[in-house]
Structure 1
Amino acid sequence: MKNLKFWLAALCLTVVFTAEAQEKKKFKVHTVGFYNLENLFDTINDTSKFDERSPIMEMKTKQFEVYQKKVKNMARVISEIGKDFTNNSPVILGVSEVENREVLEDVVNDPALIHQDYGIVHYNSPDVRSIDVALLYQKKFFTPLSTSSHELKIYDDNTKERKYTRDQLLVSGKLDGEMIHVIVNHWPSRSGGEARSRPKRVAAAKLTKRILDSLQSLDPYAKVFIMGDLNDDPTNASVTEVLQAQSDKDKVGFKGLYNPYSNMFKKEGLGTTAYRDAWSLFDQIMVTKPLIEKDYSSFTLYKAGIFNKNYLVNKKGRYKGYPKRSFADGGFTDGFSDHFPVYTLLIKEIKE
């Protein structure tokens, strides 16, 4: 179909495309996204963790008040990701920088989200900062069939001691009856410098690749989403060499990966987080080849984007133009996150 025109259905989760011949076809559309929630910790001191190092726990007063506002801010953003296109919040959302399942329960039970009836997939990981990844999903659209947590083992170059970091989460299930797989990541940070820390993210990418290979060995046509805060850009070796993600759909081979964020970064200069006046696009969603086929009888990637609404951006000060983060200079800013969320839109033709 050529010269497709896209508009929103006002009250239902459908998108209508009109071709030159005026033939009308209806498409179901869903949002699948990822969001780094920036230090979503509760106010309870867990003696088994180092959660006292979190920004909320370090505050001397109004901890619970700040926590409540932080939860409300996160729920507001999640409720609006992709809504302009679907009149709905994401049916599937990977998240990172959460302390435990309980903080996510508070988010999904906020008035902005409670009517969506989100389920949660979460495992406690051994991360030294006590932060995990997780998956939120709308129960009426997605049914998890299997979940697993995959440990990333990395070691200090000098001491050879293990550096504890986030596990990677795999969730497989049915989206409106169609099998998909989601791998949620939060790769090691650039602490100590990009070059020095690079091997840790390469190791993380290799773990992600092993998970992907295991899925594709069972089903070469598996529809897989790889998402997360990678702490690497789409142009870094972890993405281009280890995962071998392509920026051009036509170059994606059998069992290959397509990264729609690559050209956003290389050609448009877009980013999801900023540091020292430079933008990085650490938050990405990649998909396997079956999700970019021009076959609308099953779910297909329509577009990808960065959710960077005006209210998520700092309006003044030395961080003007940056994402409006929650915590800065030892206090709560009433902001959101130091990362913008990312999202993809999936479409599927509705046969009448």
Structure 2
Amino acid sequence: MRIKNLIPLFVVLFAIFGANAQAKKYIVHTVAFYNLENLFDTINGANNDEEWLPNGAQNWTSPKYKQKLHNLAKVLSEIGTTDNPNNGPTLIGGCEIENRVVLEDLVKEPLLINKDYGIVHFDSPDKRGIDVALLYQKKHFKPTSYKNIPLLIYKNQLNASAKEKNDKDDASDDKSEIDKNLDRVYTRDQLLVTGFLDGEEINIIVNHWPSRSGGEKKSSPFREAAGRLNRKIMDSIFKINPNAKIMTMGDLNDGSYNKSVKEGIGAKRKKEEVKEFGIYNPFEEMFYKGNATLFYRDAGDIFDQIMVSEAFIRKDTSSFRYWKSGIYNKPYMITTVGQYKGYPLRHGANEIGYSDHFPVYIYLIKESK
């Protein structure tokens, strides 16, 4: 293990693990998720990308694309460095990605290239052509298997109560597409990656759940189905290994308090509530403390979340454990003037921003030998 990856966490870990922790050092890894918001290239592909072409509605040119890549790379290179100053995120889940090419361009950015990120990506059936993916530092994480698991949902899954009231569309570029012949709602697959983090097996699920297009209530059954699929994936892993370490992350288009998360996944707000095969969601407590990863109509929420299985929150730190979580929202990422002051600084007519979401992250720690 390289010495630079050993971080003394004296003050905080003293409070958590007792006086003996003061003399210990810990290996630290940052795990992040970021909605990259419309990371499209300027080449006309097979997907519905006409808006993001030089002659499209966004007038999306090569200089703009390159600036977007630079902006995203700056954010990604900095996430977690407050408490892990010697390294950026080891694992990065992302969404709103057009194709593998844009990820290859992103990891070649000067601010990221020395991290030598590998890519796990599949094209999804989403009609906008946006996908989820996982980036990983090759020196620390070795994937052993990965697959995309389709979310099969249909228009007739809308329940009666949701049909009674049609909320106005949320302001989002993310619109689920419905096949009029099959009534299937085409949305993103859920990406499952299993591998070894410094020799220890972990499982990662990367998500971008169906949007709130058509209204939160009407579209809720789609995200509830996504939550159930997430839980099904976890249960299949637990059948093989009851002590499996699982992280599920993504833009869920729902808050930590919504049915899709609370009942579909069964996530808990407090560590002490988590039982065997249970899931802990640190971002629920953060939401109730007034934090947010996105804003709509002046109301903030946390749609971007990273949750961990019970094995990650045990007290023994001889293997990787969850330490703490955060939202990365530095001043340069925030709109400073106008109607959307305080919101994430996104792409506009006169400025290439970052994203309409702030990224989230957690730290994993293990006592060094």
TM range (shorter): over 0.9
Within 5 Å, give how 1:1-352 maps onto structure 2: 12-17=5-10, 18=14, 19-20=18-19, 23-46=22-45, 48-54=46-52, 58-59=56-57, 61=59, 63-87=61-85, 88-157=87-156, 161-266=183-288, 268-326=289-347, 328=348, 331=349, 333-351=351-369
Is the Cα–Cα contact under 8 Å of residues 39 and 55 in structure 1 kept in the other structure? no
Judged with a 3 Å threshold, the aligned counterparts in structure 2 of structure 1 residues 320 and 124 are, in CA distance, closer, same or farther, namely: same
Is the Cα–Cα contact under 8 Å of residues 149 and 168 in structure 1 kept in the other structure? yes
- Identify which range, 156-165 or 305-314, moves more after superposition: 156-165
What is the CA deviation profile of residues 209-259 of structure 1, one whole-angstrom value per residue up to 9, with x for unaligned ones? 111111111001100000000000000000011111000100101000000
Letter in 1 for 2:49: D
**Distance of 1:91 and 1:273 partners within structure 2:** 24
Judged with a 3 Å threshold, the aligned counterparts in structure 2 of structure 1 residues 208 and 21 are, in CA distance, closer, same or farther, namely: closer
**Distance of 2:69 and 2:343 partners within structure 1:** 21
Unmatched 5+ stretches in structure 1: 1-9
- Identify which range, 225-234 or 19-28, moves more after superposition: 19-28
Judged with a 3 Å threshold, the aligned counterparts in structure 2 of structure 1 residues 62 and 163 are, in CA distance, closer, same or farther, namely: closer
Please provide the CA RMSD for this pair: 1.7
**Distance of 1:272 and 1:21 partners within structure 2:** 36
Higher-strand-fraction structure = 1
Letter in 1 for 2:202: I
- Identify which range, 10-19 or 296-305, moves more after superposition: 10-19
Is the Cα–Cα contact under 8 Å of residues 169 and 185 in structure 1 kept in the other structure? yes
Letter in 1 for 2:67: K
**Distance of 2:37 and 2:60 partners within structure 1:** 19
Is the Cα–Cα contact under 8 Å of residues 13 and 30 in structure 1 kept in the other structure? no
**Distance of 1:279 and 1:201 partners within structure 2:** 19
Report the alpha carbon displacement of residue 20 of structure 1 after superposing the two structures with TM.
Answer: 3.8
Report the alpha carbon displacement of residue 53 of structure 1 after superposing the two structures with TM.
Answer: 3.2
**Distance of 2:55 and 2:328 partners within structure 1:** 29
Report the alpha carbon displacement of residue 59 of structure 1 after superposing the two structures with TM.
Answer: 4.5
**Distance of 2:21 and 2:222 partners within structure 1:** 53
SS at match of 2:143: strand
**Distance of 2:37 and 2:321 partners within structure 1:** 30
SS at match of 1:322: coil
Is the Cα–Cα contact under 8 Å of residues 120 and 134 in structure 1 kept in the other structure? yes
Is the Cα–Cα contact under 8 Å of residues 56 and 66 in structure 1 kept in the other structure? no
**Distance of 2:203 and 2:220 partners within structure 1:** 27
Letter in 1 for 2:364: L
Letter in 2 for 1:97: E
Judged with a 3 Å threshold, the aligned counterparts in structure 2 of structure 1 residues 332 and 285 are, in CA distance, closer, same or farther, namely: farther
Judged with a 3 Å threshold, the aligned counterparts in structure 2 of structure 1 residues 125 and 254 are, in CA distance, closer, same or farther, namely: same
Letter in 2 for 1:340: F
Aligned residues: 337
SS at match of 1:286: strand
SS at match of 2:47: coil
SS at match of 1:69: helix
Is the Cα–Cα contact under 8 Å of residues 41 and 103 in structure 1 kept in the other structure? yes
Judged with a 3 Å threshold, the aligned counterparts in structure 2 of structure 1 residues 275 and 156 are, in CA distance, closer, same or farther, namely: same
Other-structure match for 1:4: none
Is the Cα–Cα contact under 8 Å of residues 307 and 340 in structure 1 kept in the other structure? yes
SS at match of 1:121: strand
SS at match of 2:249: strand
Unmatched 5+ stretches in structure 2: 159-179
Judged with a 3 Å threshold, the aligned counterparts in structure 2 of structure 1 residues 278 and 215 are, in CA distance, closer, same or farther, namely: same
Other-structure match for 1:7: none
Report the alpha carbon displacement of residue 107 of structure 1 after superposing the two structures with TM.
Answer: 0.6
- State TM-score, norm by structure 1: 0.92
**Distance of 1:154 and 1:310 partners within structure 2:** 39
Is the Cα–Cα contact under 8 Å of residues 16 and 24 in structure 1 kept in the other structure? no
Is the Cα–Cα contact under 8 Å of residues 43 and 63 in structure 1 kept in the other structure? yes
Other-structure match for 2:162: none
Report the alpha carbon displacement of residue 27 of structure 1 after superposing the two structures with TM.
Answer: 0.5
What is the CA deviation profile of residues 56-78 of structure 1, one whole-angstrom value per residue up to 9, with x for unaligned ones? 76247561110010011111110
